[in-house]
Amino acid sequence: MTDYNETRLMNPFDIPGKKMGWCPGCGNYKILETLKEALHELGIDRRNLVIVSGIGQAAKTPQYVDTNMFNGLHGRALPAALGIKLSNRNLVVIAESGDGCMYGEGGNHFLHAIRRNIDITVLVHDNMIYGLTKGQASPTSRMGMTTPVQVNGVMLEPFNPLAVSLALDAPFVARASAGDGAQTKEIIKQAISFRGLSVVDIFQPCVVFNKLNTYQWFKENTYYLPDDYDPTDRQQAFAKSIETEKLPLGVLYCHEGRKVYEDLLGITRTPAYQRTVSDEAFEKMLAAYR
């Protein structure tokens, strides 16, 4: 039998001896390990994988995976991921950041990435706080939560990424929890294997700056969708997405067949650096701007 340490050493996405920038107990560790295990089990060639992030604690994740990465500006992971995918649609592209980076600064890009339906996977570490800047409320912070800035408590309803994704007809929408690595790994594997934009919101405790949404809080306030749940029913998925008493985990919605942006544009499988450039078309384009 292979033990856990031996399994880790066999994972080609590991970077042995890498110094980590996260606090002890941070949920990011579990998501990182879960992601690497999912990639390994899917048999993805790390030379054909690109992980893109913005800014934040979660956005450090690609730095700890032995593969290609792009760490860009705050909230700008998705446009970079779009450009990478359009330049070579043979690549597996994952955009990964926190709730602040993806839903706050990157909120506009999040909306339009869903509209375009690019064939990428969006993993959001949702700890309901800005951890890198030491604990301000994020778009998903609960009402009433106090922080060093929101000293009288958050006044606004939290952003609901699942309901928004479903309203814009994202073809794959799921929620996972870092406290359950096995289920999270299976959801991530489904998301990466799906053709089209897949959104996975992953609950993740911030053990230093969020004393409200702890591992125990997520355990007590979530539940898994039952085995007989039908993920092709969009209306049912939307009803689940707006539940507040307890928050559902699992694949809420999965709908095959929606055209991806790359097909709508007519992008070929030939990578951009191998495509033939038409001098005539190039001159015509330049002339249009003179």
Calculate the average pLDDT of the chain. Answer: 95
Residue 7 pLDDT more than 70?
A: no
Summarised one tens digit per residue, pLDDT across range 82-126 is 999 999 999 999 999 999 999 999 999 999 999 999 999 999 999
Q: What is the pLDDT of residue 194?
A: 98
Q: Where are the domains of the chain?
A: 27-288
Residue 23 pLDDT more than 60?
A: yes
d(CA 103, CA 127): 12
| pLDDT average, residue stretch 16-45 | 96
| pLDDT average, residue stretch 182-189 | 98
Which fold does the domain 27-288 belong to in CATH? Rossmann fold (3.40.50)
| pLDDT average, residue stretch 18-30 | 95
CA nearest 123: which of 168, 67, 190, 63? 190
Summarised one tens digit per residue, pLDDT across range 211-228 is 999 999 999 999 999 999
Positive or negative, the Cα torsion across 95, 100, 104, 105?
negative
Residue 130 pLDDT more than 90?
A: yes
Q: What is the DSSP string of 223-277?
A: EEPPTT--TT-HHHHHHHHT--SSEEEEEEEE-TTPPPHHHHHT--SS-GGGSPP
Q: What's the predicted TM-score (pTM) here? A: 0.93
Confidence of residue 4 (pLDDT cuts 50, 70, 90): very low
Confidence of residue 9 (pLDDT cuts 50, 70, 90): low
Confidence of residue 141 (pLDDT cuts 50, 70, 90): very high
Q: What is the pLDDT of residue 1?
A: 41
Summarised one tens digit per residue, pLDDT across range 260-283 is 999 999 999 999 999 888 899 889
Q: Identify whether the C-beta of residue 221 lies closer than 8 Å to the C-beta of residue 228.
A: no
Q: What is the pLDDT of residue 6?
A: 47
Residue 55 pLDDT more than 50?
A: yes
